[in-house]
């Protein structure tokens, strides 16, 4: 669907010759001389790279319709992750490359919102924090209370995070999905 640059809004997706982009920020500029223009900051949906691009005011651009589907992660099938659409109950095999870092936080029966452009997955929306169980870590030493000291812990999904010294195997932790950092014990 073609729209003009005057209709741009933050969060809108555009299909440009350079690729699929999401508008991070835009500014309509009307200088004293010459024609008005729109200065934008765009984020590549596939790679995450940012691009600054300037358009003439009223220039036509192609809007990309990204479909957000509520999916439930069922199980691993070889290397692929199998998801089920919550509305149609269709199953979808997804490669780990399509999920990116979101694969580190998925457990069986967890829900995620998959952003789809046609048949391609271009993003995954997870909750801000997830609760995961510690599968392996060094035992905590009694009396070792150094302020801010950390140790590595492997979670049930295979992700390794830095945790305080008092965390033990079997503890349930709250992990921030945006930064991948330990928040607190659950």
Model confidence at 168, in pLDDT bands (50, 70, 90)? confident
Radius of gyration for the alpha carbons in the chain, expressed in angstroms and rounded: 22
| 91-103 tens-digit pLDDT | 988 888 888 888 8
CB atoms within 10 A of CB 102: 19
What CATH code is assigned to 129-185?
A: 2.40.50.140
CATH number 1.10.3470.10 is the correct assignment for the domain at 67-125: no
pLDDT digits (tens, 9 = 90+) for 109-166: 888 999 888 888 888 888 888 899 999 988 866 665 666 778 899 999 888 999 888 8
What residues does each domain of the chain span?
A: 2-62, 67-125, 129-185
In the sheet that holds 91-94, the strands lie side by side as 91-94, 80-85, 67-77, 111-117, 120-125
pTM of the prediction?
Answer: 0.74
Is 2-62 a CATH 2.30.30.30 domain?
yes
Residues with Cβ within 8 Å of 62's Cβ and at least 6 positions away in sequence, in order, are 1, 2, 3, 14, 15, 16
């Amino acid at each position: 669907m073609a729209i003009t640059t005057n209709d741009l809004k933050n969060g809108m997706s555009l299909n440009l010759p350079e690729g699929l982009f999401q508008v991070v920020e835009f500014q309509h500029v009307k200088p004293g001389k010459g024609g008005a223009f729109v200065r934008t900051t765009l984020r590549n949906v596939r790679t995450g790279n940012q691009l600054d691009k300037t358009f003439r005011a009223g220039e036509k651009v192609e809007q990309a319709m990204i479909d957000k589907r509520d999916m439930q992660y069922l199980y691993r099938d070889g290397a692929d992750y199998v998801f089920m659409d919550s509305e149609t109950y269709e199953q979808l095999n997804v490669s780990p490359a399509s999920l990116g870092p979101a694969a580190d936080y998925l457990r069986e029966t967890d829900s995620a919102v998959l952003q789809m452009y046609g048949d391609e997955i271009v993003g995954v929306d997870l909750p801000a924090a997830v609760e995961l169980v510690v599968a392996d870590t060094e035992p905590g030493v009694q009396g070792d209370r150094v302020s801010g000291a950390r140790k590595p812990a492997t979670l049930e999904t295979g992700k390794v995070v830095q945790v305080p010294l008092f965390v033990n195997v079997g503890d349930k932790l709250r992990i921030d999905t945006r930064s991948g950092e330990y928040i607190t014990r659950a």
